[in-house]
Amino acid sequence: MLDLDDIHSGYGETRILHGVSLNVAVGEVVTILGRNGVGKSTVLKTIMGLLPCLEGKIIFDGEQLNAAQPFEVAARGIAYVPETRDIFPSLSVLENLELPLSLKAGRQGEWTLERVFSFFPHLASRKQNGGAQLSGGEQQMLAIGRALLLNPRLLILDEPTEGLAPIIIREIHDKLTELKDEGLTILLVEQNFGFATSLADRCYLLGKSVVQWSGSAEEIKKDKDAQHRWLGV
């Protein structure tokens, strides 16, 4: 479904990725692991068109996405939940969720406001609250709910567990597992090794700006050497 072929990317003069290749098949959950600052988030931002793809190819559903702008990437069916969640503070919870609907960029599908509120009952009771008044966990749920309202074919998440309490992490884990069981394709960037490997089918280990290791989640759990070298676990 998604193929990254030798992509190079970075901010201005600074290159962060020097030829990253990976792929995600339909219905798979794939995770990108790696130490801080190896460029995991950069991979996701490059897919979204937030950073320029300087070399290499991004192919989604057989179409090249290299020069696509973020709104075009969203329209093709990729929804993004950034590390900072990026809830719009001057919009209410309801308005945050309605935004992808009123922009009409996403596809028609099974995700509706009602379904998001029953998926995340927490949010239903906070409809009229301002985006800035939510706890970290609620913000994460809102960011995921908002992304789902694009009815994406691929959901990409950047460190959804960051800064959250263990009980909330468990809840997010359950919700993502539900989405996986429904057949949603997910690309996940994580620091939380246990969270990532219990959810993912396959893993890529990023180090020194390229992919250093790839394999199934079961394999990486056993490969202490790779864990030690590229994750410092």
Partner 1 sequence: MITDYSFWTIQLLNGLQFSMLLFLLSVGLSIIFGLMNFVNLAHGSLYALGAFTGYTFAKLLGSYWAAFFLAPVAVALVGAILYQLLIKRMRSASPLNQVLVTFGLLFVFLDVFRFVWGDFTLGIDTPELLNFGFAMGGQLYPAYRLFIIFLGLIIMAALWLVLERTNIGAMIRAGVDNGEMAACLGMNVNKVFFSVFCVGCALAGLAGVVAAPIFSVYPGMGIELLVPTLIVVVIGGLGSLRGVIAGSMLVGMIQTFGQVLAPQVASMLVYALLAATLILRPQGLFPARG
Interface ranges with partner 1 (CB under 8 A)? 48, 50, 69-71, 73-75, 79-80, 82, 86, 88-91, 95, 98-100, 102-106, 132, 146-147, 150
Residue keyed to tokens 């931002």: 45
Residue closer to partner 1, measured from CB, 68 or 206: 68
Residue closer to partner 1, measured from CB, 14 or 102: 102
104 forms beta bridges with none
> Shortest approach of partner 1 to residue 97 CB, angstroms?
10
> Shortest approach of partner 1 to residue 122 CB, angstroms?
21
Cβ atoms of 174 and 197 within 8 Å: the answer is no
> Shortest approach of partner 1 to residue 24 CB, angstroms?
18
Residue closer to partner 1, measured from CB, 84 or 198: 84
The strand pair at 14-24 and 2-11 is best described as: antiparallel
> Shortest approach of partner 1 to residue 207 CB, angstroms?
27
Residue closer to partner 1, measured from CB, 147 or 168: 147
Within 13 Å, how many C-alpha atoms sit on residue 126's CB side? 22
- Neighbour-count burial for 57-72, b at 16+ CB within 10 Å, e otherwise: ebebeeeebeebeeee
> Shortest approach of partner 1 to residue 221 CB, angstroms?
32
What element of type H or E holds 20?
strand 14-24
The CA distance from 111 to 196, in Å, is 25
Report the interhelical angle of 166-181 vs 136-148 (nearest 10°): 10
Residue closer to partner 1, measured from CB, 104 or 225: 104
> Shortest approach of partner 1 to residue 148 CB, angstroms?
11
Residue closer to partner 1, measured from CB, 39 or 152: 152
For residue 163, give every residue at least 6 positions away whose Cβ sits within 8 Å of its Cβ, in sequence order, or none: 136
- At residue 87, the 3 state secondary structure works out as coil
